[in-house]
Amino acid sequence: MRSFTDTFIKHPVLAVVVNLVIVLVGWRALTTLPVQQYPKIESSSVLITTVYYGASAAVLLWFSFRCTVMVLTPARLVDST
C-alpha cells in the first residue's frame, strides 16, 4: 500500500507543481484580503505587584523581574524590557 507522500517522492515535478499552486493561491488570498478582515492584534501586558518589607532594590529586581521573565519566556514573543 502506497502512502500519500510516496507519490510526491516518486514524482518530484508533481510535488513542485502542487507546491507552486499552494503558494500562488496563498499569495492571491494575501493580496486580495481586505485589511478589515485581518484579525485585531492587541498587545498583552502582565502587572505584578510585590511587597518585600526591608528588601533592597536588588532583591526586588531578582524576585519579581527575573523570576517572572523565566516563567513567561516560553510564551511567544515576550519582550523582557
pLDDT band at 18 (very low <50, low <70, confident <90, very high): very high
C-alpha cell at 22: 499552494
Q: Phi, psi at residue 3, to the nearest 5°?
A: -90, 170
**What does the pLDDT read at residue 12?**
93
Q: Is 68 in contact with 45 (CB distance < 8 Å)?
A: no
pLDDT at 80 over 60: no
Q: Tell me the chain's radius of gyration from C-alpha atoms.
A: 25
Res 3 pLDDT > 70: yes
Upper half-sphere CA count for residue 21 (Cβ side, 13 Å): 6
Measured distance CA(65)–CA(47) in Å, rounded: 11
Digit-coded pLDDT (tens) for 44-77: 777 777 777 887 878 877 777 777 777 776 655 5
User: What pLDDT, on a 0 to 100 scale, did the predictor assign at position 63?
Assistant: 76
Give this prediction's pTM. Answer: 0.41
